[in-house]
Structure 1
């Protein structure tokens, strides 16, 4: 599965309630003035996920294991482990609360028992699914639901007859100001998801051609085997790169369409968007049923991401601590269980839903530079990569991505004090 579907799993993982909510808020509040942030996010996601996948194929290891193995000094290795565990743990706990809150909003539109109660029920469902060690079938169903919702957004946009010239005009007038920086970071955080780097590397590592460890006393035979293995890795990397670029671009297009429909419904209009009327943007096609369909989409997107976020955290933490990454192992289950419990606790405390989701995405945007810098270092220093290390162009693209994200983060911190 990982070899054939990893790119689409990554795309489905970032098309969660945070994406739908953040893109809707961006379109409603800023029109197309922030599309530049989305376009940058798609480019950056393709660049970073390519590095993560290449690492997994070339070494047969996850990102956390590769980071840890790269360091030989004991105290520095412990620092690395602490940073990986804390960064992914904190980031995924925040992300999980947003996922569960988004799904709870959707269900509460059908049956009003409170988002806190729904978050508890959804957390229990996610625990039950992950405890079985086999979640792919339910994930596939939820991904289909998300893409069905995306199809309705596409149809809605066409029926609404958008003002293309206005959109293009706003696209050419990018905005970066104190009132938009949180939304910009949220757009970046909901697309370039740090935990997806760990998830992608681990998924492709399990199907890597690197798994053959046999050796031969005949140097010629061993050399031929090495050449064949490298050729297989190269082919796997090319296929993974093509699939990831296609899937991530598709996810970006869905996000763009959500922004466009929200812009048409709310930007410069008398009504303001909140949790109760987000589905209004679908009314041109679905009429009075728009809110219900939007709620169903939020539920599907939220539960999908609520499963993948703790799963990725388990891969990252277990890799860093040298624990088994078998889904049924005690350590693996402990990690994802802790993430879900934290997510449920935060979601059940009664925070306002839209700020909670936006905060989760912005948190990921601030944590991203830490993981991206580590990934860049690994892709240049790891001896296990061999011929599959970063090229000059990969490094230039990676440094550009990290520089922009760090710059935006510093701008956000500066705006808090000035």
Structure 2
């Protein structure tokens, strides 16, 4: 039963044991491993290798933006007084939204997995030392189809916890071995400057790609669905949701910073530019031996494969929900059960299988795919943030759960930033 707007939220009972605390964490683990993929790995390592810590402020700002946007999305779904979903809220603003979000989710699910699968194939080929990356990419796709087709939420959650442990240990070991400069990190975090271009990818392009990879756009819609699968459906779960999301962002900070450190402390001093995924791994092999090479690719594989599975599980929920929201008859036919709708299976298969075309020899390289797909993801951010700004300030729906001034400031600022960046990229493309 929904609490009326204005009712005091007592929050969940305090958890006193470690076991209870671990049990409360779930959606954050899945979503952080879905978010942390090739985009973060490549953009953070290129930024560190080419520009040191000068663009560190972009990472810090992007993580703040992501926390605010996803927290506002989650709070709306938990606390609106009609018990409607986030997508239903967007649909009430304009019937354009479900069509836009469904189509955008299908497109970006395909594009995100294009480099996740390509990178997974390359990682397996280098890690095992045999087989063509395209063959391994096909194996990745087949295994993902099998896993997603048989998984339930709890199984997926446990699988993600294992990969989180592997990835965290891998990158933390590498970062510690790299002996980072704390002073330079702090300086870059408050620098707010764009350095001169270095290498194949300019500083502005990397900054925008990093913003798209870290702050996200349509990928942020995945979290509310995993949150619902966890059973978090009312204001009573708001505190648990916020803490869970904070945990996810903290993990993103650790992992992104670790990769950035490797680029700044190992690649940059040696004048090495990143043109493919093995450039970073080979440098670690020279510095730390075969163990560094193996531990890097284990972390990369964990990040990439978990994203393949996460996107194939999360994006179909958005796609089917969009279609059912736009067509109430379809929602009634399947009683609002997204996974019961045949379109869920077909969209999941599309997001897993169709990206294999980008792994065919002769297609654009892994690094280029990562940079430009994440740049493209920023283009859709204004449409989402403007709608979210309106939704999250509706007094009649949210009462005391409306945005505070800081959340409104972040939403307005990221909207302006995304529009400005898109215009500048558009002008630069045709100039």
TM, length-normalised to structure 1: 0.84
209 and 264 in structure 1: CA distance in 2 versus 1, 3 angstrom threshold: closer
Tell me if structure 2 keeps the 8 A contact 1:3–1:240.
no
Q: Say whether residues 1:140 and 2:158 are aligned partners.
A: yes
Q: Say whether residues 1:362 and 2:375 are aligned partners.
A: yes
CA distance in 2, matches of 1:105, 1:137: 26
CA distance in 1, matches of 2:31, 2:396: 27
Q: Which runs of 5+ in 1 are unaligned?
A: 211-232
Aligned pairs (5 A) from 1:365-376:
365-376=378-389
Q: Kindly state the Cα deviation for residue 25 of structure 1 after the two structures are TM-superposed.
A: 1.4
Structure 1 counterpart of 2:180: 162
Aligned pairs (5 A) from 1:146-295:
146-176=164-194, 179-206=202-229, 233-273=234-274, 274-280=276-282, 282-283=284-285, 286-295=288-297
114 and 375 in structure 1: CA distance in 2 versus 1, 3 angstrom threshold: farther
Q: Kindly state the Cα deviation for residue 409 of structure 1 after the two structures are TM-superposed.
A: 2.6
Q: 2:51 aligns with which of 4, 8, 30?
A: 30
CA distance in 2, matches of 1:308, 1:63: 20
From the two aligned structures, give the one with the greater helix fraction: 1
CA distance in 1, matches of 2:53, 2:415: 24
Tell me if structure 2 keeps the 8 A contact 1:21–1:357.
yes
CA distance in 2, matches of 1:107, 1:92: 22
Structure 2 counterpart of 1:347: 359
Structure 2 counterpart of 1:227: none
Tell me if structure 2 keeps the 8 A contact 1:97–1:344.
yes
RMSD over aligned Cα atoms: 2.8
Alignment length (residue pairs): 390
Tell me if structure 2 keeps the 8 A contact 1:52–1:201.
yes
Which deviations, in whole Å up to 9, do the C-alpha atoms of 1:133-154 show, x marking residues without a partner? 4264355335433443333332
Q: Kindly state the Cα deviation for residue 85 of structure 1 after the two structures are TM-superposed.
A: 1.7
Structure 2 counterpart of 1:333: 345
Which deviations, in whole Å up to 9, do the C-alpha atoms of 1:288-313 show, x marking residues without a partner? 23222222222221111011112222
TM, length-normalised to structure 2: 0.81
174 and 190 in structure 1: CA distance in 2 versus 1, 3 angstrom threshold: same
Q: Kindly state the Cα deviation for residue 368 of structure 1 after the two structures are TM-superposed.
A: 2.4
CA distance in 2, matches of 1:114, 1:284: 24
Q: Kindly state the Cα deviation for residue 381 of structure 1 after the two structures are TM-superposed.
A: 4.3
CA distance in 1, matches of 2:23, 2:123: 29
CA distance in 2, matches of 1:143, 1:183: 30
Which deviations, in whole Å up to 9, do the C-alpha atoms of 1:205-224 show, x marking residues without a partner? 345675xxxxxxxxxxxxxx
CA distance in 2, matches of 1:142, 1:275: 23
Instruction: Give secondary structure in 1 for the equivalent of 2:179.
Output: coil
